[in-house]
Structure 1
C-alpha cells in the first residue's frame, strides 16, 4: 500500500542507517585506538575490567623496577665484599710473614707497609661501594629493599652491614700494623676473625640475592599473565574490525538506496494529485 503520510520503507531505512552508523562508529574506534572498548559507554563492565587489569600491569612494572634496583644495590655490595675478601687474603699472608721473629727490621717494616696499604684499600672499597647513592657497607648502611606485591603492603629487605674499621664484621682496626711480631699476631687474629664474619655476611647476602631472583621470576610470570589477560580484554582484532567496517559501509549504501526508493515512491504518490 502506498501512503503519503507514513513511509514504512523510509522509516525502516532510517532505522537501518542508525544501526549501521553505530556499528561503523564502533569499528572505526576499534581500528583507530586498537582497543575493543575505548570508552566506558561501549561496555561498562569490559571497560572497567580492562582498566583494572591495566592498572595491575603498571603496578607490577613498579614491583619489577624495585626488584631490579634492590638487586643492583645488593650486587654492588657483594662485588665490594668479594674484593675485600681478596684484600683480606693478601693481608693474612703479610700478617703470617710478620709473625716471624727472625725478620730483619727492614723486612718487618716492608711487611707492615704492605699490610697498611691493603688495609687502606679496604676503606676505599667500602667508601665507593655505592649504587644510586645507596651504600650497604658504610656507616649507617643502607638496605636493599624491593616491593613484595603490587599493593605495596609487603616488601623484601636485605640489610647492609657496616664494614667500617673496628666493627662487628670488619674487626680490623684503622691502626692495626705489623711493626713487630706481636703486633702481627694481633693483626692476624683480627684478619682471621674478619674473614669469618665477612664470609658469613656474604652468605647472607647471597641468600638475599637468590630471594630477589626468585621474586623477580614470579613477578615476571604474573606480568605475562596480566599482559595476556589485558590483551584479551582490550586489544581489537583489526582484521575482523576492518571486515566489519567494510560490511557496514556496504549496508549503509544499501540502506541509503532503500531510503531513496522509499522517498521516490512517496513522490510518485504525490504526483497523482496535481
Structure 2
C-alpha cells in the first residue's frame, strides 16, 4: 500500500525524473538540429569524433596536394607553349637554311637569309629561358626533374625535365651555329631536322607527364570528396528523423509537466482526512 505522506511524494519524484530525462533528450535533439551534427564534440561520441577529426584533417590537407599538382600542370603548360614556339622557329630555320643552300643566290640575298637564321636561333634560346612558372621550369635545362606533392604522406609525383635549349636540341650554342656558304647551309638542314625530331619527342614526353598530372589531380579530387562524404556519414544528423523526434519529445515534455502537476496535487488530498 502506498504511503500517504506530505514529506515524501514518490509520484512527484518519478514524474520529475521522467520530465528531466525528456528535457535532456530534447536538448540533445535541439542541438543536433541547430548544428546539423549528431556528433558535434568529443563528449557526444569520443571514438567517432576522433575518427571524423582525423579524416577531416586528411581531406583538408589534400588541398595542398591539389595546389602542388596544379602548379605542376601550369609549369608543364608553359613548357609546352614554349615548345610549340620553338618547333615553329626550327621549321623557319630549316626554311632559311634550305633557301640559302641555293648556289644561284647573290651575296646580299644569302647574307639576309643568314641574318634571319641567326635571329630565329636566338629566339629559341629566349623562348626556352623564359618558359618558367613561379620560377620553375622543365624546359630551360636548369634541372633534371621537378617533384610535386602526390599525397598527404609527402610522396611526390616526379616530372622529368626536357631541355628545349639549343644544347638540349643537339645544337651546339658555343659554336654560334650558323652557315657561311651554301654548302654549310645544306649541312645545317640535317642538323635542324634532328633538332626538330628531338624537340617533338621531348614535347611528347612532357605531354604524357601532363596527362599523368591531370589523372592524379582528378583522383585526388575524388578522394577528397569521398573523405568528406565519409566524415558526413559519421557526424551529420538525419534532420528529418530529428524533426520527427523533436515533435515527439515536445509532446512528451508537455505530458510530463502535466503528470508532475497531478503528482504534486496528490499531497493536498491528505487535507480532506482532517476535515
TM-score normalised by structure 2 residue count: 0.87
Secondary structure at 2:168's aligned position in 1? coil
- Backbone CA RMSD of aligned residues: 2.4
Structure 2 equivalent of residue 169 of structure 1: 169
Closer, same or farther: CA 170–13 of 1 in aligned 2, 3 Å: farther
- Counterpart position of 1:115: 117
Shift of 1:142: 7.6
Give the drift of 1:18.
2.2
Query: 2-side partners of 1:187 and 1:37: how far apart?
Result: 74
- Following superposition, the deviation at residue 14 of structure 1 comes to 1.9
Change (3 A) 1:122 1:197: same
- Give the CA deviation at 1:144: 4.5
2:140 paired with 1:138: yes
The aligned counterpart of 1:236 is 237
Whether 1:65 and 2:67 are equivalent positions in the alignment is yes
SS of corresponding position for 2:248: helix
Cα shift readout 1:176-228 (whole Å, capped 9, x = no counterpart): 23443244245334322322222221122122122222222332332333233
Q: How many positions carry a matched residue from both structures?
A: 272
* Mapped partners of 1:120, 1:58: distance in 2: 46
Match of 2:8 among 6, 9, 19: 6
Residue 94 of structure 1: aligned partner: 96
Identify the residue that residue 23 of structure 1 maps to in structure 2: 25
State the Cα distance separating 1:172 from its structure 2 match.
5.1
TM-score (norm 1): 0.88
SS in 2 for 1:149: coil
> Which deviations, in whole Å up to 9, do the C-alpha atoms of 1:2-36 show, x marking residues without a partner?
33232222222222222222212222221222112
Output one character per residue of 1:138-187: Cα deviation in whole Å (capped at 9) or x when no partner.
Answer: 252485433222222x211102233333x233525273234432442453
The runs of 5 or more residues in structure 1 that have no matched partner are none
**Which residue does 1:36 correspond to in 2?**
38
Q: How does 1:118-267 map to 2 (within 5 A)?
A: 118-141=120-143, 143-152=145-154, 154-165=155-166, 167-169=167-169, 171=171, 173=173, 175-267=176-268
Q: Do the aligned residues in 1 keep the contact of 2:26 with 2:249 (CA within 8 Å)?
A: yes
Deviates more, 1:156-165 or 1:111-120: 156-165
- C-alpha contact (below 8 Å) 2:59/2:227 kept by paired residues: yes
| Contact map agreement 1:111 1:178 (CA 8 A) in 2 | no
Q: Secondary structure at the match of 1:131?
A: coil
SS in 2 for 1:156: strand
